[in-house]
Amino acid sequence: MPKRTLDTIWWPFVQHGLSNSENDVTVIDSAHSDFFSVYRPQGDKNKSLLTPEFDGSASWWTQTVGHAHPSLTLAAARASGRYGHVMFPQATHLPALNLAERLVQDGPGKGWASRAFYSDNGSTGMEVAIKMALRAYCVRNNIGDDKKQLGVLGLNGSYHGDTIGAMDACAEGVYSCEWHDAKGFWFDPPSVGITNGQPAIDLPRGLSALAGEKVAQAPSLSWIYDVEPRLRSSLAETYRTYIQDQLKFLEIRGQKFGALVLEPLVMGAGGMIFVDPLFQRIMIDVVRSQGDGQLSGWKGLPVIFDEVFVGLHRIGMESTGPLLGVHPDISVNAKILTGGLVPLAITLASKSIFEAFWGDDKASALLHGHSYTAHAIGCEVANETMKIMQTLKSSQAWKDARAMWSQDESPKAAWSFWDPGFVYAVSQLPVVKTTMALGTLLVIRLQSDSEAGVSERLDDGVILMSCQVTRPCLHRLLLLPYGNVSPTLTILRTPPLALLLQLITELLARLHTS
């Protein structure tokens, strides 16, 4: 299989010039729970040919309740037997309707969304979101020929997928292609991390000059993620001034924007950057404060939350609006939505966004669709995933994890399945620069000579990281390399945490002694 693979397959995100030996091919026999079962003969006929390998990136952050979960598999079989795939325009079926109602009324859309639009994956969900936002902006502002000039506002390090429109909503970087045309402006974000046992906010150059400090120390992570009281702080004032001044400068330069697009709280693929939530909240407030207060619905610019990575409890909360204290006008979910079994995405929109497409001519409708839109099997699996999640939310395991991160009785937004003792202790190792944990996500950022982010030096970073993580460990840890960052996810069932901690401790010990 390795030889046939090297001869025929074109991998995603892989430089074949660097991965061209048969040892570079991981032959997955099957997968169960947190582990791949990998074909790896050990030269001893008494030993199994298969080795369990921890799925360190939760298969690109899709896995939710473990590989091969019986309830999800049965849900897929059920919908497959009843519908297979059926086309969706002017039609409905129970799996799609139930899921849309659940997400709009009692999910990430609660309190603001009125419509759910289906597509196939995170990238297409974002394409739809951008089309919705730009149309709403143009209709509201009577923009005609100038509409092609509209860009988006966002943050450096963001990633919204690999289709061309989703890429154009991001700054130039390694994920860009020849056709890429970075349409917008992206602020450098202040980021949260634990350095030497101390939570802190690292300010990028422009902001640190204004604030008079490079790093803002924080009493605790819960303090950082308690956004409302921080709105009155001097740092909030600095953020506000910085953002307002930049926007004025961009206006003078003639740049025009039709949406604010954010990956709330954590920018995943662009480098696992935990953005200071206060900065994102103030971006939204500033943009909305520039809007016309007389009109219903959104103000200033439509705000898109790309929750493809962070949404549906990946980072310990169903959606990020309640923590930020503001709702988006459009949001996107995928990945966890279907428990990691089949692809599906949903774009939620408020009433006023939907109304921008309302009319009596077909041309003004949202003319977007995919062959497998509202795939019945995907929707049924998603409904089953949401059901399991509902039970998990009140489970003892989740209560225990929350309790570990609470200094007092009150439930805290910033919590994780990872043991805080471990996360803080690892941050004090000499090889470690910062650690951070939220929900299932643990990021250990290693010391490196370069301050450059992954987007500027992916190749170096990958080499660096892959030679570190491929050293033999207890089980070979399969971490997805992203520069000097190791993104590691547990699945939401929080099973063998002790085992995972042991694996990572061992890995770090090896790095430390090498």
Ligand X SMILES: Cc1ncc(COP(=O)(O)O)c(C=O)c1O
Which stretches of the chain bind ligand X, using CB under 6 A?
121-123, 126, 159-161, 263, 268-269, 306, 308-309, 334
Structural contact between residues 244 and 251, judged by C-beta atoms closer than 8 angstroms: no
User: Smallest gap, in angstroms, from Cβ of residue 158 to ligand X?
Assistant: 7
Q: Give me the amino acid identity at 388.
A: I
Q: Which is nearer to ligand X, 123 or 222 (CB)?
A: 123
Scan for tokens 């004032």, then name that residue: 237
Q: Which is nearer to ligand X, 162 or 355 (CB)?
A: 162
Element housing 258 (H / E): strand 256-262
Q: Which is nearer to ligand X, 53 or 306 (CB)?
A: 306
User: Smallest gap, in angstroms, from Cβ of residue 118 to ligand X?
Assistant: 13
User: Smallest gap, in angstroms, from Cβ of residue 26 to ligand X?
Assistant: 20
Q: Where are the beta strands (DSSP E) in 393-454?
A: 432-438, 441-446
- Token readout for 93 is 């079926």
Compute, in degrees rounded to 10, the torsion defined by CA atoms 99, 100, 105, 106. Answer: 30
Q: Which long-range contacts (CB under 8 A, 24 or more apart) does 398-402 make?
A: 398/494, 401/494
User: Smallest gap, in angstroms, from Cβ of residue 310 to ligand X?
Assistant: 7
User: Smallest gap, in angstroms, from Cβ of residue 50 to ligand X?
Assistant: 28
DSSP assigned state of 149: G
Q: Which is nearer to ligand X, 161 or 193 (CB)?
A: 161
Structural contact between residues 443 and 274, judged by C-beta atoms closer than 8 angstroms: yes
Q: Which is nearer to ligand X, 186 or 405 (CB)?
A: 186
Q: DSSP characters for 276-337?
A: -HHHHHHHHHHHHHTS-TTSSS--SS-EEEE-TTTTTTTTSSS-SHHHHT---SEEEE-GGG
Q: Which is nearer to ligand X, 130 or 414 (CB)?
A: 130
User: Smallest gap, in angstroms, from Cβ of residue 489 to ligand X?
Assistant: 12
Q: Which is nearer to ligand X, 124 or 484 (CB)?
A: 124
User: Smallest gap, in angstroms, from Cβ of residue 292 to ligand X?
Assistant: 30
User: Count of CB atoms within 10 A of residue 375's CB?
Assistant: 27
User: Smallest gap, in angstroms, from Cβ of residue 270 to ligand X?
Assistant: 8
Q: Which is nearer to ligand X, 287 or 334 (CB)?
A: 334
Strand partners, 119: 345
In this chain, which residue has its C-beta nearest to ligand X?
122
Phi, psi of 96, rounded to the nearest 5 degrees: -70, -40
